[in-house]
Structure formats: C-alpha cells, structure tokens
Amino acid sequence: MAKLSRWPLFLAFVVFLFVGHILPPEQIPPAVAQANDKVLHLINFLILALLAYRTFSFSSRTFFSLHAEVKAAGFSLFYGALLEWIQTGIPGRQGDVADWLADAVGIFIASVIFRISKLPHKD
C-alpha cells in the first residue's frame, strides 16, 4: 500500500505547480506575490525533483526505477521549461529563462541530496 501512495503525492504536486504557473497575476495570493520569485522556483523544483526521485526509485516498473535520479532530474527540468513556455500565452504572465534557471538550481540541489543519501554510512 505504501508504494501506491507515492504516485498520488507526486502527481498532486505536479498539478499544484501547473495551477500556480497558470494563475493570472491578480489571482495570486498577496503573500506569494510578495515572496522572492526565484527562491519560490528553487524550492518548488527542489521538492518536485525529490518527489520524482522518490516515486521513480521505488516504482515496480523498471522504466521508472532504472536511473531514477537522471529521470527525475530530466522530468523536472522539462516540466519547468514547459511551464515557463505555457506562461507566454497567459495574459499578465511571461515565461522567464531566469525562472527556469532557478528551477534548475533547485533540481541540482536535489541531485546533491540524492547522491549524499546513496553514500555508504560508517557505523
């Protein structure tokens, strides 16, 4: 049962990010609108990459579990670029390469966390 719960959380976060990226500016909560946009991107995509890695690495399907770290990072980078591109068609929003670079920094940090978690532990 625990394996099944990984996919819904991951997919819910994917949808959460999608909704957050397509909202018109006037519908964004003031606390979020006033926060540092690049920091929000970094944190959101750090979380996305960690969730993707966790979901993919524990998948019973070899397609996902084999090289889960690379696939999680690749998916996250692609999704970030896709969301930025989608924003170019939303009035009041714009795609921004700097936002995507902030996404990439969050994904890179997640990758470092993956590697540290794989290091052998000395008892």
The mean pLDDT of the chain is 89
Does residue 26 lie in a domain region? no
Does residue 123 lie in a domain region? no
- Nearest of 119, 112, 40 to residue 69 by alpha carbon: 112
More confident residue, 48 or 5: 48
Does residue 25 lie in a domain region? no
Domain span holding position 101: 2-19+31-118
- Average pLDDT for 63-91: 94
pTM equals 0.89
* pLDDT of amino acid 121: 54
Does residue 83 lie in a domain region? yes
Q: Is-contact 14 52, C-beta < 8 A?
A: no
When divided into structural domains, the chain yields a total of 1
